[in-house]
């Protein structure tokens, strides 16, 4: 839901005039779609039918990459928000920057939990 807020707040503006917001949109939409994909896989328990895939490693790599790219996107988003660019888009861009950092912290926490799960799986 928070990732959805990030890209809808930007998509409702003239973000295409500023390349930095294009990068933020790419990261937000890409990881929103992948997160929905993994949510469906876990909710339907499809992962139990494909035991050849190391799901703890996949989850760790996904969450770590999401954390790193979302952190970069959040910093780019925050650095690009200025009143001089376009004043009527300022509030949407500022809100998207805030939520990008919130999503980044969520992915950071999930990366930590995935790492603990991965480490306990490899120790067995």
> pLDDT tens for residues 71-110?
999 999 899 887 776 567 788 888 999 999 999 999 999 9
8, containing H or E segment = helix 2-11
In 3D, which of 67, 83, 94 has the Cα closest to residue 10?
94
Domain count, the chain: 3
Q: Is 32 found in the same domain as 6?
A: yes
Domain co-membership, 78 together with 95:
no
- Model confidence pLDDT, tens digit, residues 34-82: 999 999 999 999 988 998 999 999 999 999 999 999 999 999 989 988 7
Residues 71, 114, single domain; the answer is: no
Indicate if 74 and 93 belong to the same structural domain.
Answer: no
Residue 115 lies in domain: 87-123
Same domain, 2 and 26: yes
């Amino acid at each position: 839901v928070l990732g959805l807020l990030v890209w809808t707040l930007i998509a409702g503006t003239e973000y295409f005039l500023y390349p930095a917001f294009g990068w933020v949109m790419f990261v937000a939409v890409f990881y929103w779609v992948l997160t929905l994909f993994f949510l469906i896989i876990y909710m339907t328990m499809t992962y139990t039918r494909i035991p050849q895939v190391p799901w703890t490693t996949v989850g760790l790599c996904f969450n770590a990459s999401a954390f790193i790219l979302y952190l970069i996107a959040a910093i780019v988003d925050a650095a690009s928000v200025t009143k001089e660019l376009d004043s009527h888009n300022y509030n949407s861009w500022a809100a998207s920057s805030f939520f990008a950092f919130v999503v980044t912290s969520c992915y950071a926490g999930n990366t930590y939990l995935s790492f603990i799960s991965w480490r306990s799986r490899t120790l067995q």
